[in-house]
Amino acid sequence: MRWIYLALAIWGAIHPMYYFVSWFQENGWNLGAMIDAWYVNDATTGLTWDLTIAAVSLTIWIIAEVAVRRNWSALIAIPATYCIGVSCGLPLYLFLRSRPVG
């Protein structure tokens, strides 16, 4: 399972990033414009909130488990979640969480 999580983290980094880079190339490298696009209609607004709530929940879970397990390297999943996306951060955390902590 561990390597499946890693494969999903890599896929979750590359696949969405393709669309983000394509959007930036077409619309200019303006993060504010991209954020505006996330709220263009109710469907995208709902999806944006869905992913935001998932990201916050994942962050709380990571922090709570790191505090108990002392698996400090797993904290890297938090910036991965917010800089890349939940599609990378969650499987990356599961990959890091599934290794023996020593």
Tell whether the model's pLDDT for residue 13 goes beyond 80. Answer: yes
Q: What is the pLDDT, as a whole number, of residue 101?
A: 63
Contact present, 89 and 78 (Cβ < 8 Å): yes
Proportion of the chain above pLDDT 90, given as a percent: 92
Give the pLDDT of residue 102: 61
Specify the DSSP class assigned to residue 99: S
Give the pLDDT confidence of 30-79 residue by residue, as tens digits.
999 999 999 999 999 999 999 999 999 999 999 999 999 998 999 999 99
DSSP for 42-87, please give it: HHHHHHHHHHHHHHHHHHHHHHHHHHHH--GGGGGHHHHHHHT-HH
**Residue 86: pLDDT above 80?**
yes
